[in-house]
Amino acid sequence: MKKTFSLTVMALLAVSLVMPVILATSVGTPTPIDVTIEDFPPMVWMCDDRVVSDDNVQPGRISPGQDEMLERINNYAFEGESIHWTVLVMDKNKIDQNIDVFATIGQDQGEGNDIEVNCKRVGCGSLSTDEFLSCNARILEEEIDYCNEDLMDVFECTLTVETPESMYGEYWITVEADDGDESGTMDENEFWFLNPEIRLSVDGALSFEDVRPGATAYSDTLLVGNDADDGSGVLMDMFISGTDFYDSSSVGTRCSDLGNGPTNALALEAFRYFATSGAYSTSTDFENDDQDLDASTLRDRDAEGYVNIQYSNHWDKAMYDEAEIIQAGGTDGWTPAPIGGPGNSLFYYPANVLAPGAEQALTFKLDLPEPCNGDFDTGAIYFWGEAI
């Protein structure tokens, strides 16, 4: 038995020398893997929180300092005024602290303009569900209905207009995000004329020659216009005021002060004006006058449609609602155009607002008192234009 067993083993060994060996743990040939990650450009969406705010220097007719500018309807802004956006930013590569979000300003639409201000990260929790949906975030056909903090964040951006030395002219303005590799902007690029020059033009001279005491005289017609920068779109609300007049030669000037006795002044009350602008004129003037601001002169239109002039040699809030050149215009020719929503009693008169290049025509009337003597060459009638 041992011999047989031994032969058997030998036979097996012999077989093993010529049979291949197959092991379960042998090493196979490796297959290469090449995975590249898309450089996802940040996506920026503007949410429903865009506000243009006034400066804190001079309040307007409607907007007090640093408040929302309800009256600004054209694309111009002045030093100290600001534009505020709330934006949602998504980056599928990273939304960490290294991502930069900023407002840019430059000559070209889109990415790459000069950075003016960095935006403040305020977090996804700063938006309610409705506010988030107002961002209308989507990637092609995919709508995004919640703020994924791993991929998104919310930023507040405020760009304040600087002085004309650094910001003057027409610019594209937008919000841009940059993650170090890629950048993207919100779709809503804006086009602004910053710090436009505002000027009034007066074409003609106001003179009355050889007027007989007790008589009425009329001047040539003057043109008062909005001479702001071309292309700026600056709308001007127009006003008029004046002072009494005096004789600079001091030669015994004397003029009746409209029933109050003789004086050396020709009272402003002796002058009135008739103004036209488009389809409207002072013949339909509203005669609105805010006596709480200035009780010295009550706005009045006479039978010819000529309006008296308010006293003032400087600009102040009392000019509103009593010193407009023309108080007229509106949807039916009589109703002033409201600005600021229902319940807001403040308004502009459309016939009193001039676009760049537009003019109002004014003819003045002098009812010279009797008796009156002198050459009244000192004093002034002022025209004012406020950019709205």
Model confidence over 285-318: pLDDT tens digits?
Answer: 999 887 766 677 899 999 999 999 999 999 888 8
Cβ atoms 102, 115 nearer than 8 A: yes
Place of tokens 């309807």: 73
> In terms of domains, do 246 and 374 share one?
yes
Query: Quick count: other Cβ atoms within 10 Å of Cβ 40?
Result: 17
User: Rounded mean pLDDT of 260-273?
Assistant: 85
pLDDT in tens, 78-114: 999 999 999 999 998 888 778 999 999 999 998 889 9
**All residues at 6 or more sequence positions from 106 whose CB lies less than 8 Å from its CB, including other chains:** 112, 113, 114, 171, 172
Model pLDDT, residue 11:
43
Report the candidate in 208, 233, 228 with the shortest Cα–Cα distance to residue 218: 208
> In terms of domains, do 257 and 354 share one?
yes
**Residue 216 within a domain:** yes
What's the 3-state SS for the chain? CHHHHHHHHHHHHHHHHHCCCCCCCCCCCCCCCCCCCCCCCCEEEECCCCEEECCCCCCCCCCCCCCECCCCCCCEECCCCEEEEEEEEECCCCCCCCCEEEEEEECCCCCCCEEEEECEECCHHHCCHHHHHHCCCEECCEECCCCCCCCEEEEEEEEECCCCCCCCEEEEEEEEEECCCCEEEECCCEEEEECCCCCEEEECCCCCCCCCCCCEEECCCEEEEECCCCCCCCCEEEEEEECCEECCCCCCCEEECCCCCEECEECHHHEEEEEEECCEEHHHCCCCCCCCCCCCCCCCECCCCCEECEECCCCCHHHCCCCECCCCCCCCCCCCEECCCCCCCCEECHHHEECCCCEEEEEEEEECCCCEECCCCECCEEEEEEEC
Largest CA distance in the chain: 165
Domain stop point among 142, 169, 194: 194
Instruction: Give the CATH number for residue 57.
Output: 2.60.40
What span, in angstroms and rounded, lies between the C-alpha atoms of 95 and 123?
Answer: 11
Q: How far is residue 72 from each of residues 59, 277, 380, measured CA to CA in Å?
A: 13, 21, 31
Model pLDDT, residue 340:
43
What span, in angstroms and rounded, lies between the C-alpha atoms of 37 and 186?
Answer: 24
> In terms of domains, do 225 and 135 share one?
no
> In terms of domains, do 219 and 171 share one?
no
The rounded percent of the chain whose pLDDT value lies above 70 is 85
What span, in angstroms and rounded, lies between the C-alpha atoms of 55 and 158?
Answer: 13
Model pLDDT, residue 103:
97
> In terms of domains, do 351 and 243 share one?
yes
Please give the distance of CA 53 from its chain centroid, rounded to a whole number: 7
* 261: alpha, beta or left? (left if phi > 0; alpha if psi -120 to 50): left
Model pLDDT, residue 307:
97
Q: What is the mean pLDDT of the chain?
A: 85
User: Which range among 22-36, 56-70, 116-130, 275-289 shows the weakest confidence by mean pLDDT?
Assistant: 22-36
> In terms of domains, do 101 and 241 share one?
no
pLDDT in tens, 129-169: 999 999 999 998 889 989 999 999 999 999 999 999 999 99
**Residue 98 within a domain:** yes
Model pLDDT, residue 318:
81
Domain stop point among 172, 194, 216: 194
Is the pLDDT at 35 greater than 90? The verdict is no
**Residue 5 within a domain:** no
What span, in angstroms and rounded, lies between the C-alpha atoms of 255 and 374?
Answer: 8
> In terms of domains, do 281 and 356 share one?
yes
Domain that holds residue 349: 200-387
Structural domain total, the chain: 2
Domain stop point among 140, 161, 194: 194
User: Rounded mean pLDDT of 326-335?
Assistant: 67
208 vs 318, higher pLDDT? 208
> In terms of domains, do 350 and 322 share one?
yes
User: Which range among 215-229, 236-250, 288-302 shows the weakest confidence by mean pLDDT?
Assistant: 288-302
> In terms of domains, do 87 and 165 share one?
yes
What span, in angstroms and rounded, lies between the C-alpha atoms of 175 and 162?
Answer: 17
Is the C-alpha dihedral spanning 384, 231, 45, 88 positive or negative? negative
**Residue 19 within a domain:** no
> In terms of domains, do 135 and 242 share one?
no
Model pLDDT, residue 15:
45
Torsion of CA 277, 278, 282, 288, to 10 degrees: -80
**All residues at 6 or more sequence positions from 177 whose CB lies less than 8 Å from its CB, including other chains:** 42, 43, 44, 89, 91, 99, 100, 101, 183, 184, 185
pLDDT in tens, 168-203: 999 999 999 998 888 999 999 999 999 999 999 999
Model pLDDT, residue 268:
93
**Regarding beta strands 310-311 and 236-242, do their DSSP bridges make them parallel or antiparallel, or are they unpaired?**
parallel
What span, in angstroms and rounded, lies between the C-alpha atoms of 175 and 115?
Answer: 9
> In terms of domains, do 233 and 378 share one?
yes
**Residue 318 within a domain:** yes
> In terms of domains, do 301 and 316 share one?
yes
Model pLDDT, residue 39:
76
**Residue 170 within a domain:** yes
Model pLDDT, residue 5:
41
Model confidence band, residue 348 (pLDDT cutoffs 50, 70, 90): confident
**Residue 86 within a domain:** yes
**Residue 89 within a domain:** yes
Which tokens go with 48?
A: 């429903």
Model confidence band, residue 3 (pLDDT cutoffs 50, 70, 90): very low
